[in-house]
Each structure stands twice: as C-alpha cells, then as structure tokens.
C-alpha cells in the first residue's frame, strides 16, 4: 500500500529547479503511497545531495548558492526521505543500489538522466502518471494472513515503529494471531531486524465481555492480564532477538471510541475496515479494501495510539515482549 522509492542524489539535487520537481510535488511523504528512500543512510545520502548541488553552482554568486541551498533544505524537509540505515556506499550510488535492489527490492529506482542510467534504474524525467514504475496497484486484499502480509510488506519492511490497532483483537484465536504473526515476520525481513519495534493496541469492550461470567476474576485488569499473557505465549517466538512488541490494553472512556482498525507506522498508515482478523474457512472469498490514511488522519491516530496515551483508560500497564 505504501511503497519505497530509491532516489539518486543527483536527481534530488536537480529538483532545486522547481520545473524539474513539479511532477513529484506532493507525491512523497505522509499521506501518500510513496516514500522517498535515502539510500544507504540519511547522513550519507543527504551529504551527497549537498555535494552535487554545490558542484552545480561552482562559479555562481554566493546569493545564488544560498538561495539554492534554502530551496533544497525546504525540499528535503517537505518530502522527508527516510532510511533504514542499510549501510555506507562502497562504490557509487548506482552500483550499490542495484546490489541492494536484488536483495531487498524497492518499488522503483529513480535516477537522473545524465549520465543515462541502465535498467532497472528509471530516468525520472521520463515519468508520467501512466509509466509502469509510477503505477501502484490497489486491488482488494483477500482476508488471509499471507495476503495481509503481502499487501503491507512494502510498508512493513522499512518502517521503524509499527502499531497494530484492533479493539477486537483476540490472540487466543488463530484468525487473529496468524495475520499478526505474518505481518511481524514480513516487517523483520530487513538487513537489521532490530531496527523495528511493534505495538498492539486492543480494548476491553462490551463485545469482549459478552458471555463472560460476572465475577471478580473478570475485572478489566484480569482480562487485560490474560490478553497480555496470551500474546507473550503466542508471539515471542515470532520476534527476532532483541525485537520488542508492546501489548497495550485499553478501556473505552468518554473520549474517542475505540472502533476502527489500523496498521500505523512512522512512515505512513493504513486503515483496515474489516480489521486484523482473517476470514474463517467458510469465508475464504472475503476481501477488504485497505486504504492509506491522509496526513491529518495519520497524525491524529499516531498521537492517539501510543504506549503513554492519555486518551483512553488503561486496563493495565503495557506488557513488553522481547524476542530471544
């Protein structure tokens, strides 16, 4: 749903020319389906972009250089390129990106026209809305664990902070636990799995209380403890050594209702109308329409669903599960 595009530093440096950047304006960042990747690391990539810009303006006046640098700073701040700290450049960006793409594929590799790159690097100046490298498929997603992971893998694999939100999440049931396990596994398919951390946010609501005996052992804290213990038993084996999963159990309060289901991340978020639950065997044809949250929606939910949130009543302290 949200895809990682590798951008050649020479290309980004050329975008201080507003005409060259016009096609890409508003196409990267939170609320979009494309995220700019600063390969191999933010520091090395940004340094190279600045070096290219300064080389371009050799012999130009100091005011021109300063104006270009200000435009570049504003540009980088606007689309906020991210990096998973894949490493340092061993040779050149083009050589290294091809090797990295073979092992950990990007959605596309976008390069500058000069010198002319070879496939699979796409000349960014040749792009239009119908170019194969720019078209992102949006088919309905079958509600099965493997399909959830497949649809969200491009986002999961380079996000650093991932929060699964479903107020009806029940780790005792395979139709909930299997999709979560599949998505956790997909997110850890990266060069350093320790670069990601997870949270699960669920709730104690009337639907969960229904059918439980009305006795002291069914207090909210006890129910929350059971949810946390079940998550620990079920998901510890799915976490690579040192990777953390925080389990947060909330009670509904007078504030916003815990109802919608999301996969939130630091690079963008999606909504899952039917939730994190996969279809039962008799419902295998069921699909869902996963959608990308706008920048404003993401900001709201990102603030709302965090370990130290004050918008809901805490049923118990969060449980932190660590992979061994």
Contact present, 42 and 143 (Cβ < 8 Å): no
d(C-alpha 144, C-alpha 186), whole Å: 14
Domains assigned to the chain: 3-126 (3.40.50), 141-322 (3.30.870)
d(C-alpha 276, C-alpha 262), whole Å: 8
Angle, helices 145-156 vs 174-187, to 10°: value is: 30
Beta bridge partners of 197: 161
Q: Which residue do the tokens 């389906």 mark? A: 33
Burial class (CB in 10 A: 0-12, 13-18, 19+), 274: middle
Contact present, 123 and 113 (Cβ < 8 Å): yes
Contact present, 1 and 155 (Cβ < 8 Å): yes
What does the pLDDT profile of the chain (324 residues) look like in tens digits?
899 999 999 999 999 999 999 999 999 988 999 999 988 888 889 999 999 999 998 888 999 999 999 999 998 887 777 776 566 666 789 999 999 999 889 999 999 999 999 999 999 999 999 999 999 988 999 999 999 999 999 999 989 999 999 999 999 999 999 999 999 999 999 988 998 999 999 998 777 777 666 654 578 898 999 999 999 999 999 999 999 999 999 987 666 778 899 999 999 999 999 999 999 877 778 999 999 999 999 999 999 999 999 889 999 999 999 999
| pTM for the structure as a whole | 0.91
Structure tokens at 230: 């079940």
Q: Which residue do the tokens 């201080």 mark? A: 16
């Amino acid at each position: 749903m949200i895809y990682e595009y590798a951008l050649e530093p020479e290309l980004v440096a050329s975008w201080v020319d507003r005409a060259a950047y016009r096609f890409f304006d508003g196409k990267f960042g939170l609320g979009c389906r494309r995220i700019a990747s600063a390969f191999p690391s933010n520091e090395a990539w940004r340094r190279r972009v600045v070096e290219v810009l300064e080389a371009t303006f050799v012999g130009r006046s100091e005011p021109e250089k300063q104006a270009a640098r200000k435009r570049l700073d504003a540009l980088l701040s606007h689309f906020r390129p991210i990096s998973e700290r894949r490493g340092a450049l061993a040779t050149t960006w083009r050589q290294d990106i091809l090797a990295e793409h073979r092992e950990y594929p990007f959605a596309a590799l976008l390069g500058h026209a000069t010198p002319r790159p070879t496939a699979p690097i796409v000349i960014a100046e040749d792009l239009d809305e119908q170019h194969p490298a720019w078209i992102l498929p949006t088919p309905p997603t079958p509600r099965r664990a493997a399909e959830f992971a497949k649809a969200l893998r491009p986002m999961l694999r380079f996000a650093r902070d991932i929060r699964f939100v479903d107020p009806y999440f029940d780790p005792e049931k395979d139709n909930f636990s299997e999709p979560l396990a599949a998505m956790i596994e997909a997110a850890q398919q990266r060069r350093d799995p320790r670069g990601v951390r997870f949270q699960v946010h669920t709730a104690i609501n009337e639907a969960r209380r229904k059918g439980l005996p009305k006795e002291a052992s069914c207090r909210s804290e006890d129910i929350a403890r059971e949810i946390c213990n079940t998550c620990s038993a079920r998901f510890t084996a799915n976490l690579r050594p040192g990777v953390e999963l925080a389990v947060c159990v909330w009670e509904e309060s007078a504030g916003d209702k815990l109802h919608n289901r999301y996969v939130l991340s630091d690079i963008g978020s999606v909504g899952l109308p039917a939730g994190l639950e996969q279809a039962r065997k008799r419902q295998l044809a069921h699909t869902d329409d996963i959608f990308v949250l706008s920048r404003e929606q993401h900001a709201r939910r990102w603030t709302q669903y965090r370990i130290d949130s004050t918008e809901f009543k805490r049923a118990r302290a969060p449980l932190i599960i660590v992979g061994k």
